Amino acid sequence: MPAPASPPNAPDAAGAVPGETPLALTRRARKIDRELTMLYPDAHCELDFTNALELSVATILSAQCTDKRVNEVTPALFRRYRTAADYAGADRDQLEALIRPTGFFRNKTTSLIKLGQALVERFDGEVPPRLADLVTLPGFGRKTANVVLGNAFGIPGITVDTHFGRLSRRFGWTSEEDPVKVEHAIGQLIPRKDWTMLSHRVIFHGRRVCHSRTPACGACALAPLCPSYGIGTIEPIAAAKLVKTGADVAVSA
């Protein structure tokens, strides 16, 4: 049976679920988060790293590239470049050759060299654990800063990538398109202590079930809580075939 073009309880043009009060929205958002916690107990950052500098570099490389490809490139990269000073003094041709598979390698090389220089000149070669400082660094925006804060420093942050933004709107949590506005809107619904793990869980769900083009609605455990149920495949067997697991997951940033 084909999915309805627009579910009867879909978010309206303002991003609200018809008849849902702010309190009800908060309760539903937190219930979705609890369900995601049970669905993805092992949710985590899918970039490989051992310290804040490595995570910063890996996150910059992940732009327009899959995490899987980045993880294939970074072992050799991290062996050669261990400190901010190493990136600051890097030979451009050698660095470009190492990160070429991640795409946009010339721009990324520039960002990594300038990142190293900025860390050496302004922060004694260390990645600073403050959002206000991180967003001033080359290659950084709020998304990258929140990834580093949450996963390298344990400081809660909401990472609004394409998956997180898409699901936030489908869940009826917000209608905002701007990542910063999405971040602030969701921050009002979910306790601060849960922000980092919420980001991982939502991204996991977006990569595995709630796909951009054809969501697996009929195989989604969140269906009873989702006002956008029906925008994708609702027939259970067909939907189950859309669910991605393990190596099938497209881990794009």
Tell me whether residue 124 is one of the annotated catalytic residues: no
Give phi and psi for 66, each to the nearest 5: -80, 150
80 vs 121: CA distance, rounded Å:
21
Residues sharing a CB contact under 8 Å with residue 78, sequence separation 6 or more, in sequence order: 50, 54, 57
The alpha-carbon radius of gyration of the chain (Å, integer) is 20
Catalytic-role residue among 48, 161, 178, 241: 161
Catalytic-role residue among 33, 108, 143, 248: 143
10 vs 193: CA distance, rounded Å:
29
Count, residues in the chain:
253
Give phi and psi for 24, each to the nearest 5: -65, -40
Tell me whether residue 143 is one of the annotated catalytic residues: yes
145 vs 127: CA distance, rounded Å:
10
Q: Which of 3, 92, 42 is nearest to 204 (CA)?
A: 42
What is the set of active-site residues? Answer: 143, 161
